[in-house]
Structure 1
Amino acid sequence: MKAASVYSAMNALPHGRALHNAGLLSNPAARTQIAAAAALAGWHGGHDGWWRHGHGGYGWVGPLFWPFAYYDLYDYTIWGDHGFWDYGYRDIYAGIFGPYGHDDLSGYLAPRRYGHRHATAVPLSRMCGDDSRAIAGLPIDQIAHAIEPTEAQRAALDELGTASIQAARVILDACPTQVALTAPGRLAVMQQRIGAMISAVAILWTPLHQLYALLDDKQKARFNALAEDHRQASASKAAPSRTCGVEQVVALDWPADEIEKRLHPSDTQRTALDTLRDAAANAADLLKAGCEGVDAATPPARLDVTAKRLEVMLQAIRPVRKAVDDVYGTLSDEQKTQFEGIGRQRPAS
């Protein structure tokens, strides 16, 4: 698919108008559908991409890693929704073996007319994040309705609301403004995005914990109950499954034969590739082990768990990124081209 076709497809998505609807975007299922449609607009491989998450979403949408990242953070913290936990090894694997080609990716960041350079297609810009309280802020009014705050508590709640806008801005600022065409570039984007999310959690941490400490036991119970109330009001009426980003990891086998066939590596290159394979395997093990606390019972506890999980993800990415950089340092231009074609040739899921 050529860049212009991808750009047109992105702007013609059936959910395009929904990206301006704050109420609809608060629904995790709707966001999953939007992200899936956008992710596949630039992919040629079939109905579902191989990097698809267990609940139907995608960690990579063109050049963007973790669409709707801020929503996932507060949905898990406040409502207990587990979309946050879909992210894991599959996304690192897709960072190494990218599913998009040059023309596919350029369509996601195609410049608009009238000289607006580097303007993003509307769906991608909305999936990146937003600093508007109406769109990306924590549900302060719903929290207030639940806890019925005193004057002192109301001031603490307002501080939390302000912090939530600051946190959303940090994530928005980590949005890609250029297309990463290589594995080193993709992993750099991924690491930057995770780092921004860690910073966002740090911004939210103190005001959320301070507010919670001011609540009496009945108020805490009502605050904690928001998650169960939200689940009961949802269409599914069922608790989401906990994948913790480890679903179908076995299916993402290391493409050793494909690498050998495409690259015909030298002994030095083969050693570097073996190191990368081992780093990826270690990342999978680390992420699988770092799933404790998924069912934390309170908003502050869930925010604590997100901080720990994001740190584990960062620990998993760093050695893989270094190994990828080392591999690329040994490859010729033709070998790099061949390496980048591996992900695009994987069969659809």
Structure 2
Amino acid sequence: MASRQISTALRQPGGLRNPMTRAAITTAAAGAAMGGVGWWRHPNGGYGWVGPIFWPYAYYDLYDYAWWGGGYDPYFWDYGYGDLYAGLFGPYDYDALSGYAYYLPGYAGPRPPATGRSRATAQTTTLADMCGSDRSDIAGFPIEQFRSAIQPNAEQSTALDDLASASQKASATILNSCPKDVPLTAPSRLAAMQQRLQAMRDAVGILQPALERFYGLLSDDQKAKVTALVADQHRGQHEATADNGNCNMAQPTTIAWPGDIIERNVKPTDAQRASLDALRDAATKAEDTLKSSCPPTDARTPPARLAAVGARLDSMLQAIGTVRPAVDTFYSALSDEQKAAFDAVGPERDGGRSAMAAAGGDEPPRSRHRRHHHHGPNVGGMIFRMIGL
């Protein structure tokens, strides 16, 4: 989607409800600090990591799949092992990440001047928007569409209002999982990823009883109207891909273990190599866990699809729970120089540029990081220029 189309879509009410628009924005934001397409890109074109944020627009993806199915929004099932891998071997170096820090909702330091349109407009299209929302006009969708379609009786209307309240609470739960600072290491990235996924799982737990109660009160005729509403939504989303096609797709370069780079740059000792082997085994086990949790083909109602969302998030949390102790053990056994080299594995994969090479010579990246704290590029300005705001 071209920048002019993105800009036009964002000026429309509810523009971010279009999954293709959201994917285009995350692509622009993810590549702003890197100067191009990264190896951690999803098969459908979006990104699971945008700077320090894992799963941008998570609340939209969760709701879209539950309400409309993967034929409308194919992005929920793109998330999987490739994102865990990108958490282990973060694609951004320190300077790139520090540029994103200004646009996190919890960041309290000075902000660079807005670029293009007014500061107020620019700040409404930042990383904070990717974290979530507690606004009822966003979090409550598509409640009013359902109300209009089914013409609920008094009991059903009350249940629908309760579902709207649960939806807003669930969305606020996801919003609160946004990182308050930038995770710079593999342990901190996986911790942030786990926090985000747990918030999404908690959101499902908030939504599920309210959705099941509402849907259970509907007559067969009203359920048929819900099905027709879903079909209408699919017809209006011509660019979406096939339903549920991508849950285990991953680019080969994404999932290949970077053993040669680790050996060459980190130079683990024999004792460290044992814990490195344990980490690789844990990553393989996590990948197998996620391969076994594709969506059911018979999830044809919103409650069934929401249950599938919960099951997938459980699998992702299980996968991270397998990897996190192993990465913590390995990382804690490294020297500062080895940690800096391990942190540079991901950036080195992206165009062959390591953090040490970027530093200019043999100075350890970690000491350079201290000297240049909070002086990264104006990523926000680049994002706004790329999407035409």
Same topology, TM > 0.5: yes
* 1-structure distance, mates of 2:286, 2:110: 33
* 2-structure distance, mates of 1:290, 1:22: 35
* 2-structure distance, mates of 1:291, 1:111: 34
Tell me what 1:82 maps to: 74
Tell me what 1:57 maps to: 46
Whether the 8 Å CA contact 1:246–1:288 is kept in 2: the answer is no
Whether the 8 Å CA contact 1:109–1:179 is kept in 2: the answer is yes
Q: Which amino acid aligns with 1:39?
A: A
Q: Secondary structure at the match of 1:99?
A: coil
| Unaligned stretches of 5+ residues in structure 1 | 1-11
- Structure number with higher relative contact order (C-alpha < 8 Å, ≥ 6 residues apart): 2
Q: Which amino acid aligns with 1:101?
A: D
Greater mean deviation of Cα atoms: 222-231 or 307-316:
222-231
Counterpart selection for 2:336 from 333, 337, 340:
333
Tell me what 1:124 maps to: 127
Whether the 8 Å CA contact 2:103–2:126 is kept in 1: the answer is no
Q: Which amino acid aligns with 1:322?
A: P
Whether the 8 Å CA contact 1:38–1:61 is kept in 2: the answer is yes
* 2-structure distance, mates of 1:118, 1:14: 32
Counterpart selection for 2:207 from 198, 204, 209:
204
TM-fit CA distance, 1:111:
7.2
Tell me what 2:99 maps to: 107
Greater mean deviation of Cα atoms: 166-175 or 283-292:
283-292
Counterpart selection for 2:279 from 249, 271, 276:
276
* 1-structure distance, mates of 2:349, 2:88: 13
Q: 1:105 to 1:327 in 2, by over 3 A?
A: same
Q: Which amino acid aligns with 2:34?
A: W
**Aligned residue-pair number:** 334
- The share of aligned pairs that are identical, in percent, is 50
Tell me what 2:160 maps to: 157
Whether the 8 Å CA contact 1:263–1:339 is kept in 2: the answer is yes
Tell me what 2:120 maps to: none
Q: 1:167 to 1:17 in 2, by over 3 A?
A: farther
TM-fit CA distance, 1:250:
6.3
Q: Which amino acid aligns with 2:50?
A: V
Tell me what 1:94 maps to: 86
1:287 paired with 2:290, answer yes
Greater mean deviation of Cα atoms: 274-283 or 233-242:
233-242
Whether the 8 Å CA contact 1:109–1:119 is kept in 2: the answer is no
Whether the 8 Å CA contact 2:20–2:239 is kept in 1: the answer is no
Whether the 8 Å CA contact 2:159–2:213 is kept in 1: the answer is yes
- Taking structure 1 as the reference length, the TM-score comes to 0.89
Q: Which amino acid aligns with 1:92?
A: L
Tell me what 1:342 maps to: 345
* 1-structure distance, mates of 2:305, 2:274: 41
TM-fit CA distance, 1:116:
4.7
* 2-structure distance, mates of 1:289, 1:225: 31
TM-fit CA distance, 1:117:
3.0
* 2-structure distance, mates of 1:256, 1:295: 40
**Matched ranges for 1:229-244 at <5 A:** 229-236=232-239, 239-240=242-243, 242-244=245-247
Counterpart selection for 1:313 from 312, 316, 335:
316
TM-fit CA distance, 1:14:
9.0
Q: 1:134 to 1:164 in 2, by over 3 A?
A: same
TM-fit CA distance, 1:190:
0.2
TM-fit CA distance, 1:137:
2.4
- Taking structure 2 as the reference length, the TM-score comes to 0.81
Counterpart selection for 1:267 from 263, 267, 270:
270
TM-fit CA distance, 1:222:
1.5
Q: Which amino acid aligns with 1:63?
A: P
Q: Deviations over 1:140-163 (max 9, x none)?
A: 111112221111101100000011
TM-fit CA distance, 1:133:
1.4
* 2-structure distance, mates of 1:206, 1:156: 10
Q: Which amino acid aligns with 2:265?
A: R
